[in-house]
């Protein structure tokens, strides 16, 4: 396959590459949206990853590509937080990269791929051998490639001390010509240009604002009672994982200040990947503050099903139509999908002005209670009004939906994807 000339048909065969395409993480969700819009252009999408929930007929699963594969975990243990790399680590990185590269050749040949879309695989070094393999594969084949970057290694403290600066420079992301780089916020665009000297296209996360959310159905009719809430409870949802950068203590303080007996703070996602100390602290803080805090991650999943106790499992989208308010007091986000989800389901939301929100999203003109690192009396009163005044709340969320539809809809993604496909393939696409 070396030196293969890739066809530039009007209808392309797109190969998505990542460590994982499964569940509700940002990369998996945005990739699915890209594939849907590409399908509108009659482009077919195929999937390569270490963990996949896509249809087997269009998937190529290579377990070694997953960041949780034992060999990759061993490598990560030896390279992060270290200043020196043992020769055996270098050898195992090369061996793994060589194997992964051979599977990339198999993937492209199996599905006759004409364009690659690397989804964060050349961005955050969760699997260094995969990034090396992909960079070498692109260099050897000159296959047209779009590199979609969600979060760079320099944005994460845990990667700042490492023994792989050579690989980071080589592959995260690579500099060679022929790759169309795509970022999700302005700060990333500037940093990429400064650090790597490569230009990029800005494509924010998007939602299908041209269509309304699915209406609640029979499955979710009793969701409140199933989750242990009454019909008149005021459900304030924190739709995030339980990790410190989500700032959940601010949500607890908000409910304490509201002093509303029927208010319940509901956290939809689990802790675990960064330990349980933060969750335990939140439980103690809620208890001391007199706040009714509920963890429901055991009832919220990627798909509807029954759990081990025979109880209904719901999706986050099942839950949204049944809550009253959303809290999102994050200290840092690469973009902030939960914000767009609240806009999509026409819910009022509290935002902490994390840097990307302040720079990229706030200037668009949304009407949301905004805290700047701490809660003020004005913010608390604004939340109280949104909860107490249905007409004011309706006007606010309708305004926000219209703004989101203008700036974060599939229409924007269609325009940008058309440009990207043209840039890498040389063939112009039309609606």
pLDDT at 427: 55
pLDDT at 8: 47
CA–centroid distance for 378 within its chain: 31
pLDDT at 334: 84
Q: Do domains 13-206+410-425 and 218-407 have the same CATH topology?
A: yes
Residues 240 and 118: their CA atoms lie apart, in Å, by 25
Residues 188 and 185: their CA atoms lie apart, in Å, by 6
What are the helix (H) ranges across 275-376?
277-289, 316-319, 337-344, 355-356
Give Cα separations from 297 to 52, 84, 261, 267, 314 (angstroms).
Answer: 22, 40, 23, 7, 10
Within the chain, which residues score under 70 in pLDDT?
Answer: 1-10, 272-274, 427-431
Residues 397 and 323: their CA atoms lie apart, in Å, by 14
Give Cα separations from 166 to 118, 157, 158, 172, 338 (angstroms).
Answer: 20, 18, 17, 10, 35
Residues 6+ apart with CB under 8 A from 88: none
Q: What is the pLDDT of residues 64-84, one digit of tens each?
A: 999 999 999 999 999 999 999
pLDDT at 431: 47
Task: Output phi, psi for 17, to 5 deg.
Answer: -125, 130
Domain 13-206+410-425: CATH class, spelled out: alpha beta
- Assess whether the previous peptide bond of 70 is cis (omega < 30° from 0): no
Q: What is the largest CA-CA distance in the chain?
A: 69
CA–centroid distance for 348 within its chain: 21
Which residue from 97, 250, 235 is spatially nearest to 164, judged by alpha carbons? 97
pLDDT at 25: 82
Contact (CB, 8 A) for 263 and 289: no
Q: What angle do CA 235, 354, 336 make, to 5 degrees?
A: 60
Contact (CB, 8 A) for 146 and 115: yes
Q: Which tokens is 230 given?
A: 């009454």
pLDDT at 428: 54
What are the helix (H) ranges across 142-218?
165-171, 186-196
Query: Would you kindly state where each structural domain of the chain is located, as residue ranges?
Result: 13-206+410-425, 218-407
Q: Does domain 218-407 have CATH number 3.40.630.10?
A: no
pLDDT at 4: 53
Residues 136 and 97: their CA atoms lie apart, in Å, by 9
181 pairs with which residues across the strands?
Answer: 147
Q: What is the pLDDT of residues 313-345, one digit of tens each?
A: 999 999 999 999 999 999 988 888 899 999 999
Task: Output phi, psi for 265, to 5 deg.
Answer: -90, 120
Residues 357 and 169: their CA atoms lie apart, in Å, by 29
The number of beta carbons lying within 10 Å of the beta carbon of residue 16 is 28
Residues 6+ apart with CB under 8 A from 191: 152, 154
Residues 126 and 121: their CA atoms lie apart, in Å, by 8
Task: Output phi, psi for 116, to 5 deg.
Answer: -95, 145
Answer left, alpha or beta for residue 177, where phi above 0 means left and psi between -120 and 50 means alpha. Answer: beta
Q: What is the pLDDT of residues 213-242, one digit of tens each?
A: 888 899 999 999 999 999 999 999 999 989
Residues 101 and 9: their CA atoms lie apart, in Å, by 25
Residues 201 and 214: their CA atoms lie apart, in Å, by 31
């Amino acid at each position: 396959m070396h030196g293969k000339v890739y066809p530039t048909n009007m209808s392309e065969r797109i190969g998505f590459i990542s460590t994982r395409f499964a569940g509700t993480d940002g990369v998996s969700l945005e990739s699915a949206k890209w594939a849907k819009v590409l399908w509108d252009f009659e482009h077919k999408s195929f999937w390569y990853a270490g963990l996949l929930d896509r249809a087997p007929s269009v998937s190529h699963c290579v377990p070694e590509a997953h960041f949780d594969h034992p060999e990759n975990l061993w490598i990560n243990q030896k390279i992060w937080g270290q200043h020196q790399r043992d020769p055996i680590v270098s050898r195992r990185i090369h061996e793994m990269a060589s194997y992964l590269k051979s599977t990339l050749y198999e993937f492209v040949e199996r599905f006759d791929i004409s364009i690659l879309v690397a989804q964060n695989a050349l961005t955050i070094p969760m699997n260094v051998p995969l990034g090396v393999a992909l960079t070498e594969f692109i260099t050897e084949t000159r296959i047209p490639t779009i590199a979609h970057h969600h979060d760079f290694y320099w944005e994460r403290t845990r990667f700042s001390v490492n023994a792989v600066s050579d690989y980071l420079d080589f592959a995260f992301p690579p500099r060679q010509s022929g790759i169309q780089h795509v970022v999700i916020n302005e700060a990333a665009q500037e940093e990429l240009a400064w650090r790597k000297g490569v230009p990029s296209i800005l494509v924010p996360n998007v939602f299908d604002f041209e269509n309304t959310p699915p209406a609640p159905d029979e499955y979710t009719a009793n969701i409140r009672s199933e989750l242990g809430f009454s019909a008149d409870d005021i459900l304030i949802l924190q739709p995030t994982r339980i990790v410190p950068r989500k700032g959940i203590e601010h949500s607890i303080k908000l409910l304490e200040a509201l002093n509303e007996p029927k208010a319940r703070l509901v956290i939809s996602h689990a802790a675990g990947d960064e330990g349980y100390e933060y969750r335990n602290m939140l439980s103690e803080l809620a208890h001391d503050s007199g706040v009714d805090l509920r963890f429901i991650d055991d009832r919220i999943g990627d798909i509807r099903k029954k759990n081990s106790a025979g109880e209904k499992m719901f999706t986050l989208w099942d839950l949204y139509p049944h809550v009253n308010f959303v809290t999102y007091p994050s200290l840092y986000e690469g973009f902030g999908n939960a914000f767009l989800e609240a806009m999509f389901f026409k819910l009022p939301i509290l935002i902490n002005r994390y840097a990307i929100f302040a720079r990229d999203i706030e200037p668009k003109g949304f009407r949301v209670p905004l805290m700047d690192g701490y809660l003020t009396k004005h913010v608390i009163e604004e939340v109280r009004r949104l909860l107490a005044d249905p007409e004011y709340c309706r006007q606010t969320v309708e305004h926000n939906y219209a703004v989101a539809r203008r700036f974060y809809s599939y229409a924007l993604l269609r325009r940008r994807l058309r440009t990207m496909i043209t840039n890498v393939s040389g063939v112009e696409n039309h609606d």
